[in-house]
Chain A
Amino acid sequence: MIRRITGAGMFGLAVLWMFPLLWALWTSFRPREHATSWSFSLDFTFDNYAKVWDAAPFAQYYLNTFLIVIGVLMAQIITATLAAYAFAKLRFWGRDVLFILFLVQIMVPADILIFPNYNVLRDLSLLDTKIGIMLPYFASAFGVFLLRQTFKTIPHELEEAARMEGCNWFQILWRVYVPLARPTYIAFGLVSVSYHWNNFMWPLIITNSVENRPLTVGLAIFAQSFETGAQWAEVSAATMMVIFPLLLAFLMFQRQFINSFIHSGGK
């Protein structure tokens, strides 16, 4: 009996959790004059999306976000793979100290260093550039730890065998370690992509032009250009446009998505 009640309660919670998304989705298709009322009717329209698309350069924002997300991911994969291999397989002078230095980045993430890093970018004359948004994230201690974990489980014999066949260190890394760590790369990739797709404060501070602004900042500027609730339907449409690509990817690959997060989180 108790089990029944908690079961129903947890289902109720799931429905409650879905509500904000479904409500925003519903509002985004409502004609403007019905957006704020709860009276039920079957009027739906695509007008809001059309208006939003015309009112703000969302195509440019999509492109910017896309470039930033891909650029960060590529750089992180390269730097993290190299560092993870060194930490996992080599004994060298200063290893423990370096490991702690890497740990510090997890404890003091770039998110809280917005003001100091603004000054660094200013000194490098990289304010209001896409590369400036990306640079602070090019080294990912989280990625290094995740990959180090995986590389450690790969038996040394495989590396020896590859060396016997005349592979150099790069080929060993590329042909032995990287393919065997694929699930970890996927897990890290998903975490990184959703993080940078959603990142807001940092790009807000350093960008100043349409050419460099990511979707999140574009959305905030669009939403703040209205004072009253009269444009709810349009703001909802803009919000859905920002959420949609990641959400779609999530719904399509739900199992892999959650398993990847379990994989990366369980370590």
Chain B
Amino acid sequence: MEAQRAKWKVNMYAWLLLLPSLIFLLLFTFYPVLQTIILSFHQADLGSPEPFFNGVDNYKLMLEDDVFWKVLSNNIWFALGTVPTSTALALGMALFANKVLRGKGFVRTAYFYPTIVPMIAVANIWLFIYTPEYGALSHVMEWFGKGDMNWLGDQTYVMWAMIFMVIWKEAGYFMIFYLAGLQNISQELYESAAMEGASSWTVFRRVTFPLLMPTTMFVSIIAFTNSFKLVDHLVIMTKGGPDNASNLLLYYIYETAFSFWDQGMASALTIVMVVLLLAVAAIQFFSLDKKIHYN
């Protein structure tokens, strides 16, 4: 009886401690997602003052919408362009920043500082870099006789310009995870490798890289999620243009919801986004050892 009461007390106590977080979690994560699922089966746009049920029409329209496929494929290219490159670059940065003797502070600072610069400020600065004729890149390209390239105005180049900017912005952040990973590798492994006369390439291939594998997986998941979350720069730089060449899924949701005021469609698009991110999370959860990061 006494034990029962103590147990009940701990239960109540724990739930009370969790209550403040739970309220906000329910109000701003679970309830909105639920509402969005419901709204995605309704027609709710400027033409229908009172939302009405229209089944899977929004999803059907979405699948027929060329712009939807465009932004989805853009987003996949954007991910392919940023995830492997910034991860690999981050590893290189960490390896270098870890052992460089002179200028360690400068190197780390230079690599890392873009992390704390707001994306919107980044967009302003890079807009000036990419501007034709007057921009920094144009000044450099002029030496090669190609100073008139309009990086953001051209459908083929605009995505490359964005990808490069994002690599610049986030590689230094990922470097931090690798620096942390490197600290966890036992020094003895390197000593015994040195005793056996292994070349530095062999040491990297056989010791450093395999042992950093959990970090690599973790970083690539964050990088992938980021490629769907980062859209602030589009507001300043291209507004998704030219002709949706740089448009991304989240920015398209923003346009659909707040420029076209098609709430049903914005809901359907949001659900696609949520499912996509949850699928990635599920891959992470089931296929990788979750122990490393959450235990």
Q: Which residues of A contact B (CB under 8 A)?
A: 3, 6-7, 10-11, 13-15, 17-21, 23-24, 27, 36-38, 78-80, 82-83, 85-87, 90-95, 98, 101-120, 135-136, 138-139, 141, 144-145, 169, 194, 197-198, 200-201, 204-205, 215-216, 219-220, 223-224, 229, 232, 235-236, 238-239, 242-243, 246-247, 250-251, 254, 258, 261-263, 265-267
A246-B116 contact given A92-B15, A113-B29, A262-B180, CB 8 Å threshold:
yes
B17 lies within 8 A of A262 (CB): no
Residues in chain A near residue B113, CB distance under 8 A: 17-18, 21, 247, 250
B24 lies within 8 A of A136 (CB): yes
Looking at the assembled complex, report how far the CB atom of A176 sits from the nearest CB atom of chain B, in whole angstroms.
15
Kindly name the residue among A36, A141, A239 whose own CB sees the greatest number of chain B CB atoms within 10 A: A239
Inter-chain contact total with CB atoms closer than 8 Å: 265
Looking at the assembled complex, report how far the CB atom of B270 sits from the nearest CB atom of chain A, in whole angstroms.
6
Kindly name the residue among A20, A232, A251 whose own CB sees the greatest number of chain B CB atoms within 10 A: A20
Q: Which 5 A-B pairs have the closest CB atoms?
A: A266-B180, A116-B32, A139-B24, A92-B14, A198-B118
Tell me the bound Cα distance from A18 to B112 in angstroms.
10
B100 lies within 8 A of A7 (CB): yes
A86-B14 contact given A116-B270, A250-B113, A265-B177, CB 8 Å threshold:
yes
A23-B136 contact given A111-B229, A116-B36, A117-B28, CB 8 Å threshold:
yes
B294 located at the interface, meaning its Cβ lies under 8 Å from any Cβ of chain A in the complex:
yes
A247 lies within 8 A of B116 (CB): yes
B33 lies within 8 A of A115 (CB): no
A258-B128 contact given A79-B20, A101-B25, A216-B120, CB 8 Å threshold:
no
B231 located at the interface, meaning its Cβ lies under 8 Å from any Cβ of chain A in the complex:
yes
A21 lies within 8 A of B117 (CB): yes
B80 located at the interface, meaning its Cβ lies under 8 Å from any Cβ of chain A in the complex:
no
Measured CB to CB, the nearest residue on chain A to B126 is: A20
18 other contacts beyond A87-B18, A90-B13, A92-B13, with CB at 8 A cut-off? A3-B200, A18-B110, A80-B21, A90-B10, A101-B25, A104-B29, A108-B278, A112-B277, A113-B274, A114-B250, A144-B21, A200-B118, A219-B120, A220-B236, A236-B124, A247-B116, A262-B180, A263-B180
Tell me the bound Cα distance from A94 to B168 in angstroms.
43
Residues in chain B near residue A145, CB distance under 8 A: 294
Residues in chain A near residue B267, CB distance under 8 A: 115-116
Residues in chain A near residue B23, CB distance under 8 A: 139
B15 lies within 8 A of A139 (CB): no
B144 located at the interface, meaning its Cβ lies under 8 Å from any Cβ of chain A in the complex:
no
B294 lies within 8 A of A120 (CB): no
Tell me the bound Cα distance from A23 to B127 in angstroms.
12
Measured CB to CB, the nearest residue on chain B to A94 is: B15
A115 lies within 8 A of B270 (CB): yes
